[in-house]
């Protein structure tokens, strides 16, 4: 999903400096509903201009976290800083101007069917009380940014799902926010449309320096555009780091499970033959990244360790311009296994013995 879709745009509108490196800072955030703990002490930061992906399964706490960020939910304890200001204890009146610094993009678009595309985009500015001429000029600028100038007078019912989401993105940018919250924004879209929307978000981030917090349950979305990822499970951040590093060496079980859909897995016909005891061959899972994945690892291994070591599945991908790979090797049980594992670990690979097979795979 590295496709780059770039709409024709007007001169970019620059967001005013915030005076702080952290656009978002959460400290020990806790929120419970009855006996159920939705958030169990979440702490994280989002730097100005970065895209942070927050990923987790349904019920992990993602929605509650979003609602605490935009002030719709009050935490039981902990602090929520937006551009250096703690918001969790502000009155509703004091929250209003801060909410304008946060744009929201929703899964189901939330467009008003009775209004035209340009009127939907300009709605936040109408609520602010801006003159019609100014808000229509801003709407036109943003529709050009998202590639929908020709749809300004159309109504949402005539738009495709991807076009509706582009309108939603334009509307979220209307008030020149410092932070864009994307809440499962591509979940209702087909894969091709998803690629175009993610490319648009990446382009907006690059052009405007806009900070984006992306909430999703799809690891492919994180892989496509995020700089960092935080994995949330049962209301806690269980893992956090640069996307390529998390892909290369996931520490938690939930992260490994989420990665399972997009990382190479041992084919079922081989996995079904694995046994615990000795056999003709041992199957190794080898994870490599960075420098370990750039060099001629397998040819060097063949030159250093005797025996017919074979690649049975896997390959090298690129995440954030870093090579990240998973290889499945068959090593003869007759000799060379310990030497093979030692060689791979010495090259920086992570090696796991999956089991043995009775005959060639």
Backbone φ/ψ region at 335: left (φ over 0), alpha (ψ -120 to 50), beta: left
What's the rounded Cα separation, in Å, for the pair 87 and 346?
49
Tokens of 311: 């690649």
- The string of pLDDT tens digits covering residues 147-191 is 999 999 999 999 999 999 999 999 999 999 999 999 999 988 999
pLDDT at 20: 47
Instruction: List Cβ<8 Å contacts ≥24 apart for 6-10.
Output: 6/199, 6/203, 7/144, 7/145, 7/146, 7/147, 7/200, 7/203, 8/144, 8/147, 9/144, 9/145, 9/207, 10/141, 10/144, 10/145
pLDDT at 275: 86
Is the alpha carbon torsion for 296, 302, 308, 309 positive or negative?
A: negative
Q: What count of Cα atoms within 13 Å lies in the side-chain half-sphere of residue 66?
A: 25
Tokens 């990822």 locate to 229
pLDDT at 324: 93
pLDDT at 55: 95
Domains of the chain (ranges plus CATH)? Answer: 22-253 (3.40.50.300), 268-357 (3.30.70.260)
Please name the residues in contact with 253: beta carbons below 8 A apart, sequence gap of 6 or more: none
By percentage, how much of the chain surpasses pLDDT 90? 69
Please name the residues in contact with 226: beta carbons below 8 A apart, sequence gap of 6 or more: 51, 52, 53, 214, 243
Residue ranges in the chain modelled with pLDDT below 70: 1-20
157: DSSP letter: G
- The string of pLDDT tens digits covering residues 321-337 is 899 999 999 998 777 88
pLDDT at 19: 41
- The string of pLDDT tens digits covering residues 255-272 is 999 998 888 899 999 999
**DSSP β-ladder status, 228-233 and 51-55:** parallel
């Amino acid at each position: 999903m590295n496709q780059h879709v770039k709409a024709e745009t007007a001169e970019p509108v620059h967001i005013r400096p915030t005076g702080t490196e952290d656009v978002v800072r959460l400290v020990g955030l806790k929120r419970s509903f009855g006996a159920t703990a939705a958030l169990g002490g979440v702490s994280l930061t989002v730097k100005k201009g970065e895209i942070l992906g927050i990923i987790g399964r349904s019920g992990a706490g993602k929605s509650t976290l979003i609602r605490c960020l935009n002030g719709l939910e009050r935490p039981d304890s902990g602090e929520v800083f937006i551009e250096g200001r703690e918001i969790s204890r502000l009155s509703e009146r004091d929250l209003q101007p801060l909410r304008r610094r946060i744009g929201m993009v929703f899964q189901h678009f939330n467009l008003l069917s009775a209004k035209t595309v340009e009127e939907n985009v300009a709605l936040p500015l109408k609520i602010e009380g801006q003159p019609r001429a100014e808000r229509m000029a801003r709407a036109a600028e943003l529709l050009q940014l998202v590639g929908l100038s020709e749809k300004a007078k159309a109504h949402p019912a005539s738009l495709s799902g991807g076009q509706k989401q582009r309108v939603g993105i334009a509307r979220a940018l209307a008030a020149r926010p410092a932070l864009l919250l994307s809440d499962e924004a591509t979940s209702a879209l087909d894969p091709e449309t998803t690629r175009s929307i993610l490319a648009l978000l990446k382009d907006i981030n690059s052009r405007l320096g806009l900070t984006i917090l992306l909430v999703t349950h799809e690891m492919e979305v994180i892989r496509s555009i995020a700089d960092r990822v935080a994995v949330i499970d049962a209301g806690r951040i269980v893992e956090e780091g640069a996307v390529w590093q998390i892909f290369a060496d996931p520490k938690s079980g939930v992260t490994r499970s989420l990665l399972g859909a997009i990382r190479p897995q041992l084919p079922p016909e081989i996995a079904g033959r694995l046994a615990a005891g000795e056999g003709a061959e041992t199957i190794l899972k080898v994870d490599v990244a960075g420098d370990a994945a750039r060099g001629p690892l397998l040819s060097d291994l063949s030159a250093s360790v005797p025996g017919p070591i074979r690649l049975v599945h896997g390959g090298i991908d690129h995440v954030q311009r870093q090579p990240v790979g998973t290889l499945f090797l068959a090593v003869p049980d007759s000799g060379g296994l310990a030497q093979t594992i030692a060689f791979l670990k010495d090259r920086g690979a992570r090696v796991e013995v999956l089991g043995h097979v009775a005959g060639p795979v």
